[in-house]
Structure 1
Amino acid sequence: MSRAFVFPGQGAQTIGMGRALAEGWSAARAVFDEVDEALGEKLSTLIWEGELEELTLTRNAQPALMATSIAALRALEAEGFDLVGTADFLAGHSLGEYSALCAAQSLSLADTARLLRIRGEAMQEAVPVGLGAMAALLGLDFQAASEVAHEAAQGEVCQAANDNDPGQVVVSGHRGAVERAVEIAKARGAKRALMLPVSAPFHCALMQPAAARMAEALAAVVIRDPLVPVVANVSAEAVRDSSKVQDLLVAQVTGSVRWRESVLWMESAGVTEFWEVGAGKALSGMIRRIAREAVTKPVGTPADIEALKA
């Protein structure tokens, strides 16, 4: 049996996430302490006691979700689940790719926290509020959604941004173009097409200013070969060489998240079990729709870790 650890992206955040892990394992608590120190603020207080609206801000949600994932991983390791011995591949959805690289020790925890703070701010600032939008097209595959986006663009930006599973694709771009995509998708037979409550149009060409900032930020940190191969969002195949990581992370800012293809790649490489490390269970739902024979297991609470031990 081959196993992959997968790390969630934005949208999985909840107030209180990771607190029970920090209370149960000193190694998990140390993760939140180190992230607080790296950012020069008490992000952990916001995560555990703050307002969801503030936690959901991109600049906060990205490092917070990564910290929760790495805390869960440290708790898992404290119970004898060694990363190299337990996982054959790692992957993450959008910001989750940074969590995966941190888990693989390709990026240090402090650097990952600071990079995600920069990434969150850069993505938020790349497009004036209200100019961009994203929409979920349900019941259309990636090819059909790409055709809808192309037709809707009409000289503006509209791209298929997230290929989440066989029946869920997210498009991103200028608000007017995305609104046109919703109507075109409905006419093309989409089960549902709805605008998403996001603050910026992620993973499309409008994010180019953010990509430039991430290229600069990534050039300033040490990137090592990952201890476990990491399946990259934009290539949908495993990366083992540190020299490729920077370019893939920069391309990810404006490129499509090829999650469906990433899961299929891991399945073709023999993965039969996926452990979702961190907050929520959204990736597990997607994975079961992509690889129907796959087993998924959550790793986000002390109860989850006890269940794995049992």
Structure 2
Amino acid sequence: MAVAFTFPGQGSQTVGMGKDLADAFPEAAAVFAEVDEALGEKLSDIIWTGPEDQLTLTANAQPALMAVSIAALRVMQARGLDLKSKVAYVAGHSLGEYSALCAAGTFTLSDTARLLRIRGNAMQAAVPAGEGAMAAIIGLDHADVEAVCVEASPLGACQIANDNGGGQLVISGLKPAVEQAASLASQKGAKRALLLPVSAPFHSTLMAPAAEAMREALASVPRQDPVVPLVANVRAAPVTSAETIVDLLVEQVTGQVRWRETVSWFAQNDVTTLYEIGAGKVLTGLARRIDKNVTGTAVNTPADIEAVLAALA
């Protein structure tokens, strides 16, 4: 039975995250210092003391969450964890895919921080504020949600952005179309159809300018093949080529995060233990709902790290 490391996405951030790791472990403190230097500002101050509205900004939340994930990983590595021999795959939810790739050695920590700052700014700038929207649809299957998106599309772009599993899908696009699709989903029997408090319509075709910005940014960044395969968001299948991964990261900006299929792929390929490295426990909760044969464990405190090292010894 194999192990995978997963890395959380936007929404898992909380003020103060990672502070206990930085206080307890010099390897973790060094990660935050390197991210600060790469960005030319004290992002760590915002991570640890807020204010929350500054941490929540896409351009801050994305590198911040990555920093917390890599801080936890570096602590484990300093205590003897060898990723290649102990972990079969890595995967991350949206921005978490960059954390996974940093963990697997495809990008350096400094380059990953800069890429995520570019990504956050580009995604925010792609659509004027108030024109886009996202909505969570609970209790309908993928085909029904796809159908309501198509039905609402005369009002503008509307598509599935995240298939999170456990009956939760997120749609994204122009606000009138998303509102119409959410209404149609309720009429079709969705348990909930809720507009989300997000600043832009992520993972939709409206993010095309951000995809081009990432194509340009990624073109100039050194990359290595990951030391363990990445199960990519847009494929829900493992990838080992750095060049292919870069193409998929561009595709991911406008494409669907296929998380339900990712966890199902793990289950079908004897990966029964998922360790969620970094802030929160969103992916851990989703894993249980997607496949009962998969065990998720959140790893974000010194005690969590000790438990994982013991389990993987």
The AA in structure 2 aligned to 1:159 is: Q
* 1:245 to partner: Cα distance: 1.2
Aligned residues: 310
CA distance in 2, matches of 1:106, 1:307: 27
Please say if residues 76 and 309 of structure 2, whose CA atoms lie closer than 8 Å, have aligned partners that are also in contact.
Answer: no
SS of the equivalent of 1:286 reads helix
Please say if residues 288 and 294 of structure 1, whose CA atoms lie closer than 8 Å, have aligned partners that are also in contact.
Answer: yes
CA distance in 2, matches of 1:184, 1:200: 22
Do residues 252 (structure 1) and 252 (structure 2) align?
A: yes
SS of the equivalent of 2:65 reads helix
CA-to-partner distance for each residue in 1:276-309, whole Å, 9 max, x for gaps? 0000000011111111111111111112113334
Do residues 140 (structure 1) and 140 (structure 2) align?
A: yes
* 1:178 to partner: Cα distance: 0.6
The TM-score normalised by the length of structure 2 is 0.97
Aligned to 2:270: 270
Please say if residues 134 and 172 of structure 1, whose CA atoms lie closer than 8 Å, have aligned partners that are also in contact.
Answer: yes
Please say if residues 207 and 253 of structure 1, whose CA atoms lie closer than 8 Å, have aligned partners that are also in contact.
Answer: yes
CA distance in 2, matches of 1:140, 1:283: 20
The AA in structure 1 aligned to 2:13 is: Q
The AA in structure 2 aligned to 1:247 is: D
Same amino acid, percent of matched pairs: 60
CA distance in 1, matches of 2:289, 2:161: 19
Aligned to 1:53: 53
Instruction: Say which is worse superposed, 266-275 or 87-96, in terms of deviation.
Output: 266-275
Aligned to 2:15: 15
Q: How does 1:110-149 map to 2 (within 5 A)?
A: 110-149=110-149
Please say if residues 155 and 176 of structure 2, whose CA atoms lie closer than 8 Å, have aligned partners that are also in contact.
Answer: no
CA distance in 1, matches of 2:79, 2:268: 30
Aligned to 1:85: 85
Aligned to 1:44: 44
CA-to-partner distance for each residue in 1:31-53, whole Å, 9 max, x for gaps? 10110000000000110012111
CA-to-partner distance for each residue in 1:231-284, whole Å, 9 max, x for gaps? 110011111111201110000000000111111112222101000000000001
SS of the equivalent of 2:257 reads coil
SS of the equivalent of 2:106 reads coil
* 1:79 to partner: Cα distance: 2.5
CA distance in 2, matches of 1:191, 1:202: 23
* 1:78 to partner: Cα distance: 2.2
Please say if residues 161 and 172 of structure 2, whose CA atoms lie closer than 8 Å, have aligned partners that are also in contact.
Answer: yes
Instruction: Say which is worse superposed, 148-157 or 256-265, in terms of deviation.
Output: 148-157
* 1:81 to partner: Cα distance: 2.2
CA distance in 1, matches of 2:84, 2:119: 28
* 1:80 to partner: Cα distance: 2.3
Runs of 4+ residues deviating >4 angstroms: none
The AA in structure 2 aligned to 1:46 is: I
CA distance in 2, matches of 1:246, 1:168: 28
Please say if residues 232 and 239 of structure 2, whose CA atoms lie closer than 8 Å, have aligned partners that are also in contact.
Answer: yes
**Any gaps of 5 or more consecutive residues in structure 2?**
none
Do residues 206 (structure 1) and 206 (structure 2) align?
A: yes
CA-to-partner distance for each residue in 1:211-234, whole Å, 9 max, x for gaps? 000000000101110001011100
Aligned to 1:229: 229
CA distance in 2, matches of 1:212, 1:97: 18
Please say if residues 94 and 257 of structure 2, whose CA atoms lie closer than 8 Å, have aligned partners that are also in contact.
Answer: yes
CA distance in 2, matches of 1:83, 1:288: 24
Aligned to 2:220: 220
Aligned to 2:293: 293
Please say if residues 141 and 166 of structure 1, whose CA atoms lie closer than 8 Å, have aligned partners that are also in contact.
Answer: no
Please say if residues 273 and 295 of structure 1, whose CA atoms lie closer than 8 Å, have aligned partners that are also in contact.
Answer: yes
Please say if residues 140 and 166 of structure 1, whose CA atoms lie closer than 8 Å, have aligned partners that are also in contact.
Answer: no
CA distance in 2, matches of 1:141, 1:79: 43
Aligned to 1:159: 159
**Any gaps of 5 or more consecutive residues in structure 1?**
none
CA distance in 1, matches of 2:47, 2:306: 23
CA distance in 2, matches of 1:224, 1:12: 28
CA distance in 2, matches of 1:179, 1:169: 15
The AA in structure 2 aligned to 1:272 is: T
SS of the equivalent of 2:208 reads helix
